[in-house]
Amino acid sequence: MNTILEVKDLCKTYIVNKRQNNVLRNISFTVSEGEMIAVMGPSGSGKSTLLYTVSGMDKMTAGDVFFCGRNMSELSENELAEMRLDDMGFIFQQMYMMKNLSVLDNIILPAVKSDKIQESRKSTVQRGQDLMRKLGIIEIMDNDINEVSGGQLQRACICRSMINNPRMMFADEPTGALNRKSSEEVMNELTKLNDDGTTIMLVTHDAKVAAKCTRVLFLVDGNIKGEYNINRERTLLDRERDLNNWLLEMGW
């Protein structure tokens, strides 16, 4: 399988109150197309920073990140923005949306903005509605964002991240703010997307969520302490138990 993301000696340092804080230290790993990779680790280990840095949302201090063969450190702000718009999708823990737009408008906004897909507004709307239908939220398309539940909103966020058919999706604790039922629904949608060929990298604290992925990176103090491949052919329960055991070994 082709490598979609290659991270080499990635470092990220913050200066807070004149003190240097090395959040990521020489991290290297690769992600192949079609993979669903989970990043786990204790709070403050650098999981979210890793996600934002490799997706070009934050600048790296040192190292190289190649996305689809392009070195992100050599790209301008505008090229990175274009890359995020056309080739990447994002889901956040909080369901951030534009507050003055309806749910459907929020979903189609990246498609309207993008030059990649040349289509009529009608086709864009049709695709947005299809995605909403697929994720079971078509009935809320004209709703205001404060009129829907958290689970529905997170699924709307997934629709938004999917609207430009991204090559890779990044999710920062996508189920962190949801109840168990909504979490399961969202994870099922993400798994389905991955089954359809979308590469996914997500940050999670939840072994149940990570067990649905193909690989887990365990981060401690800005270093990858361990890497765990999940056999998706086993039952979810078995995968979860094996992962928990491994996490215990890692000191989780």
Residue among 79 and 195 whose Cβ is closer to other proteins:
79
Q: Please say whether the beta carbons of 190 and 206 come within 8 A.
A: no
Task: Single out the residue of 214, 203, 194, 213 nearest to residue 170, CA to CA.
Answer: 203
Residue 27 or 243: the one with the smaller Cβ distance to other proteins is 27
Phi–psi pair at 163, nearest 5 degrees? -60, -30
Site membership for other proteins, residue 109 (CB under 8 A): yes
**CB closer to other proteins out of 98 and 236:** 98
Binding map of other proteins across residues 15-54, x = CB under 8 A, - = no contact: ---------------------------------x---x--
| Under rule CB under 8 A, residue 177 binds other proteins | no
* Comparison of 30 and 94: residue with beta carbon closer to other proteins: 94
Judged by CB under 8 A, the residue of 39, 50, 97, 230 near other proteins is 97
Strand order in the sheet with 62-67: 19-32, 3-16, 62-67, 70-71
Residue 31: closest CA among 57, 5, 61: 5
**Residue 100 within binding range of other proteins, rule CB under 8 A:** yes
Q: How far apart are CA 57 and CA 49, in angstroms?
A: 9
Distance CA 170, CA 197 (A): 14
Q: Work out how close the CB of 14 gets to other proteins at its nearest, in angstroms, rounded to a whole number.
A: 11
**C-alpha–C-alpha distance, residues 83 and 67, integer Å:** 9
**Binding of residue 179 to other proteins (CB under 8 A):** no
Question: Is position 98 an interface residue for other proteins (rule: CB under 8 A)?
Answer: yes
Stretch in the footprint of other proteins (CB under 8 A) among 30-38, 96-104, 180-188, 243-251? 96-104
Q: How far is CA 182 from CA 99, 135, 148, 155, in A?
A: 22, 12, 13, 9
3 state SS of 79? helix
For residue 160, state whether it binds other proteins (rule: CB under 8 A).
Answer: yes
Sites for other proteins among residues 61-90 (CB under 8 A): 77-78, 81-86, 88, 90
Contact 179, 126 (CB under 8 A): no
- CB-CB neighbours of 78 under 10 Å: 8
Using the structure block, give the residue that is written with the tokens 């864009």.
Answer: 124
237 binding other proteins? (CB under 8 A): no
- Under the binding rule (CB under 8 A), the answer on residue 172 touching other proteins is yes
| Residue 1: alpha-carbon gap to chain centroid | 20
Question: Residues 37, 72, 108, 207: which binds other proteins (CB under 8 A)?
Answer: 108
Which residues form the interface with other proteins (CB under 8 A)?
Answer: 48, 52, 56-58, 77-78, 81-86, 88, 90, 92-94, 96-102, 104-105, 108-110, 112-114, 121, 124-125, 128, 142, 144, 146-147, 160-161, 172
